[in-house]
Amino acid sequence: MSSDTSLAVNPFALLAVSTRDNAHRIMEAADNQSLYHDPDTCQQARATLINPRRRVEAEFGWFPGVAPGTAMKAVEATSIGEVENLPLSGLALANALIMVASKVPPASMSELRRFVTKVVSAVEEAQLDQVVREINEDREIAGLPAISNEQITADAFQSRQHAWRRAVITALDQAPTAEMAEAMYELAKDAAGAHFFPRFLHEIIDDYALRAQPFLAKEVATAERLIEKARTLAGDRPDALPPIINALAALLITWEELTYPMQMSATLRGREDRDSENLAFMIRDLSIDLFNKHNLINESRQISEMVGSSFSALPQVAGAIAKDGIALDDLETQASAREAEISYAADVGKIFKTRLAISPSGLEWNGKVTALEDVRSVRWGGVNNSVNGIPTGTEYLISWNDGSQTTKVEFSNRRIFEAFIGCLWKALMEQIVSGILSHLRSGRALHAGNAIIKDTSVILRRKKFLGDEPAEYAWGDVTVTTFSGSFIINGPEGSKASAALSYRDVDNVHFIEMVVRYAFSKGITRLSDSFG
């Protein structure tokens, strides 16, 4: 006999008899029901119930241990509330609940949640030993032999569990998708909050996961498109990222609502929710790229927090996101400290003021901002002025070039000059020095004033009668000094070769000097090995 949940196929329901009726009563009922139902079906039901071995499955699908009057009320019930008011538990309660649901499916999310919760609880209460004991007590009253074959009862109990599981999935399938998802989400939350996750709930979630696969696959495809678009825009159009990040956030909210039961179930069973983990790490990779490749720390943190919130039930993801958070905190602290170190602004001019500023956003003068990463070269210095030998002040110059345009700032305020240069040095030192070393390492030469700087040598101007000529020397053969606003490179003693690189007029002299002096201090004869 099938373990279907329909009342009509259970022999006890068809013949309107109880588990305590004897063989004579069953045969009598079969004859009476033959007047109203198919005679052959009624006779098959009779044969099943009077055969001690064959009736086992029917007993598991009915109300063993329950008074006949209570069993009849369970059969006639049309709502979960009616079933709840009956003195039923375990197997009998689970059977009653799925019988009601087969007649009147849950009509709302709250009813669906209530139904599944009650079934899960009843199944958790159902114990095979107790059910067998109740069946044997009923059989004793009916004058039938007790069950003695453990395998038969184990098979019948397993068949009943499958019927309960199919009934719950049927109820979920009949509900609108949003109600089904919300009901499962709340069930998993409740179980996790109570620190008790029944085995039967794990099984229902497994079935639920299979049904969710087509939708989840579409969500993953959508996430992949959004991530690719974010990577494409991050370099040139970071201002276009917010709508994409918001779309990812909305997707993750939906994903969490749908998959939280699967995440929690997998974690509690020591398994992997691979779909969720793959999506989590895919979006996490975007967060890492936005920071590492584009220095977008705010966007990186926002995405990282989104992933952490939506996948909190997955230990691997939660652990990775926690480490990311610590790293981002450290980086943000460093970024804040660097921002303070390289930020300065002042108004230049005695009557008409012009803003001169530097910050992580760039160099600003006269309303134009040059991004720090675009700066190719800088120079600065001062010239002392006098009239008739009387000093009249110093004129300062700061200039930078982005490869296409040169910006020059000239003023006489020493305090502003020193403050701005201090920030400028910290902001651009690593960038420009790295550029110099990379240039030399590639075998190219730097033309700086009247000197040609190479990786292992320098070309100076050697004086001769009525002019000069180029002369090349290894770095180990020259000396350096500073004089009258210039960086001086002198050839070997007696060579009459030298070059004067004006700090004020020659690009990047301050940084070239830094590289050369550092190489000399370390005994390095190849400049590109400096800071290596």
What contacts 458, CB < 8 A, 6 or more positions away? Answer: 451, 452, 472, 473, 475, 478, 489, 499
pLDDT score of 8: 47
Asked whether the predicted pLDDT for residue 239 surpasses 50, the reply is yes
Sequence ranges of the domains in the chain = 7-175, 201-339, 344-429, 443-529
- What would the mean pLDDT of 424-439 be, rounded to a whole number? 92
Both structure tokens of 170: 């049927």
Quote the Cα angle for 152-157-159, to 5°: 95
DSSP one-letter string for 32-47: HHTTTS-HHHHHHHHH
Tell me, yes or no, if the pTM score tops 0.85: no
* pLDDT, tens digit, 9 for 90 and up, residues 114-159: 999 999 999 999 999 999 999 999 999 999 999 988 899 999 999 9
Q: Are 472 and 455 in contact (CB under 8 A)?
A: no
Q: Pick 443-529's CATH classification: 1.10.10, 2.20.28, 2.30.30, 2.30.29.
A: 2.30.29
Asked whether the predicted pLDDT for residue 204 surpasses 60, the reply is yes
146 in helix, strand or coil?
A: coil
- What would the mean pLDDT of 187-193 be, rounded to a whole number? 85
Q: CA-to-CA distance for 50 and 54, rounded, in angstroms?
A: 8
Which residues on adjacent β-strands are paired with residue 401?
377, 406
Max mean pLDDT among 243-252, 286-295, 333-342 falls in: 243-252
pLDDT score of 350: 78
Quote the Cα angle for 133-134-139, to 5°: 95
pLDDT score of 492: 94
344 in helix, strand or coil?
A: strand
pLDDT score of 520: 93
Report the residue count for the chain: 532
Both structure tokens of 7: 């009342």
| Burial grade of 190 (CB within 10 A; 0-12, 13-18, 19 or more) | middle
Cα 518 to Cα 418, 475, 521: the distances in Å are 23, 12, 5
pLDDT score of 294: 86
Q: Please state which architecture CATH assigns to domain 344-429.
A: Roll (2.30)
Q: Are 233 and 241 in contact (CB under 8 A)?
A: yes
- Considering just the CA atoms, what is the radius of gyration of the chain in Å? 42
**H/E element, 231:** helix 199-234
Phi then psi for residue 34, to 5 deg, are: -65, -20
Asked whether the predicted pLDDT for residue 7 surpasses 50, the reply is no
pLDDT score of 5: 37
* pLDDT, tens digit, 9 for 90 and up, residues 464-488: 877 889 999 999 999 999 998 999 9
Asked whether the predicted pLDDT for residue 4 surpasses 50, the reply is no
**H/E element, 252:** helix 241-268
DSSP one-letter string for 287-310: HHHHHHTT--HHHHHHHHHHHHHH
148 C-beta neighbours (distance < 10 Å), count:
11
Average pLDDT, the chain: 89
Q: CA-to-CA distance for 334 and 322, rounded, in angstroms?
A: 19
Give, rounded to a whole angstrom, the gap between the first and last alpha carbons of the chain: 82
- What would the mean pLDDT of 317-330 be, rounded to a whole number? 77
Residue 65 Rama label (left phi>0; alpha psi -120 to 50; beta):
left
Quote the Cα angle for 212-225-318, to 5°: 60
Asked if 344-429 and 443-529 have one fold, the answer is yes
What contacts 250, CB < 8 A, 6 or more positions away? Answer: none
Of 464, 463, 499, 447, nearest in space to 478 by CA: 499
Q: CA-to-CA distance for 248 and 241, rounded, in angstroms?
A: 11
**H/E element, 368:** strand 368-370
* pLDDT, tens digit, 9 for 90 and up, residues 31-77: 998 888 889 999 999 999 999 988 999 999 999 999 999 999 999 99
pLDDT band at 6 (very low <50, low <70, confident <90, very high): very low
pLDDT score of 148: 83
pLDDT score of 2: 39
Q: Are 379 and 507 in contact (CB under 8 A)?
A: yes
* pLDDT, tens digit, 9 for 90 and up, residues 327-380: 777 766 666 777 788 899 999 987 788 999 999 889 999 999 999 999 999 999
Q: Which residues of 374-404 are buried (b: 16+ CB within 10 A; e: fewer)?
A: ebebbbbbbeeeeeeeeeeeeebbbbbbbee
298-307, 474-483, 485-494: the lowest-pLDDT one: 298-307
Q: CA-to-CA distance for 323 and 306, rounded, in angstroms?
A: 15
Residue 93 Rama label (left phi>0; alpha psi -120 to 50; beta):
alpha
